[in-house]
């Protein structure tokens, strides 16, 4: 299952749409999601909204234990959703050319993350595994983890998160190929609804040589699975 993604480049008549996934709007990874001039509710309004929700579930918002809860919730939102104010392109803007002609892919696996599902605003968490095959220059390894955190600290689906990570690396670094595998548990499925604890969701996205070469996909997946032994 893939996220709904808007195409940004016209397809050539020879392109096979079934083989080439649509691309994301570059606005999603070339700039912060929130502009400085974008109208937003005041902090007091946000805290009042939290108070309204507490009243909705039947709580007494004037009891001692909840007096400071609206402030704390808004502060938690500032932390959990800080990805809206961070620019993915800036994370990948510094590369290094001293690679001694290295021409194989670079893999960073087991990047832990926590995100929030846009459907229920409940956490999902797990690991991302990211590989790319550089062209002459490489990016700092920690930048791939930072990129994951920026997108994870926004509301979206796991499918969209996977596609965003791959699209950003592909567009900004312009490597020969990108491979992204994300595995996560969704609390909207494990603690509510069907309540299936431990059920894991896997999503993947391949571009370039990883998309076109099954052997490279297999090698990537083999190295990722090696971390689970």
Per-residue pLDDT tens over the stretch 133-159: 999 899 999 999 999 999 999 999 999
**Is 56 strand, coil or helix?**
helix
Here the CATH number for the domain that contains residue 213 is 3.30.1130.10
Assess whether 223 and 124 both reside in one domain: yes
| Tally of structural domains, the chain | 2
Q: Which residue has the higher pLDDT, 20 or 226?
A: 226
Would residue 7 count as lying in a domain? no
Percent of the chain with pLDDT strictly greater than 70: 88
Regarding whether 200 and 97 lie in a shared domain, the answer is yes
What pLDDT digit, counting tens, does each position of 110-127 carry?
999 999 999 999 999 999
Q: Would the pLDDT of 212 be above 50? A: yes
User: Considering the domain boundaries, does residue 16 fall inside one?
Assistant: no
Span 102-107, mean pLDDT?
A: 93
Active site residues per annotation: 117-120, 158, 186, 188
In-domain check, residue 217: yes
Give the helix ranges, DSSP H, for the chain. Answer: 27-30, 43-56, 69-80, 88-91, 141-152, 158-173, 187-190, 208-212, 214-225
The pLDDT of residue 157: 95
Residue 71, domain extent:
43-80
């Amino acid at each position: 299952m893939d996220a709904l993604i808007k195409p940004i480049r016209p397809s050539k008549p020879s392109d096979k749409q079934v083989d080439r996934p649509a691309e994301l709007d570059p606005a999603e990874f070339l700039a912060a999601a929130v502009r400085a001039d974008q109208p937003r509710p005041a902090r007091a309004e946000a805290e009042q909204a939290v108070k309204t929700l507490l009243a909705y579930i039947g709580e007494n918002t004037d009891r001692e234990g909840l007096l400071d809860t609206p402030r704390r919730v808004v502060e938690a939102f500032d932390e959990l959703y800080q990805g809206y104010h961070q620019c993915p392109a800036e994370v990948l803007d510094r590369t290094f050319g001293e690679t001694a002609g290295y021409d194989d892919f670079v893999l960073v696996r087991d990047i832990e993350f926590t995100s929030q599902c846009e459907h229920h605003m409940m956490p999902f968490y797990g690991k991302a595994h990211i590989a790319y095959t550089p062209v002459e220059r490489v990016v700092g390894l920690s930048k791939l983890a930072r990129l994951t955190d920026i997108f994870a600290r926004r509301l979206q689906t796991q499918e969209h998160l996977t596609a965003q990570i791959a699209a950003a690396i592909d567009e900004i670094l312009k490597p020969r190929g990108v491979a992204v595998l994300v595995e996560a548990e969704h609390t909207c499925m494990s603690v509510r609804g069907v309540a299936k604890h431990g059920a894991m969701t896997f999503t993947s996205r391949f571009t370039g040589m990883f998309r076109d070469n099954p052997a490279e996909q297999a090698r990537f997946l083999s190295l990722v699975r090696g971390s689970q032994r």
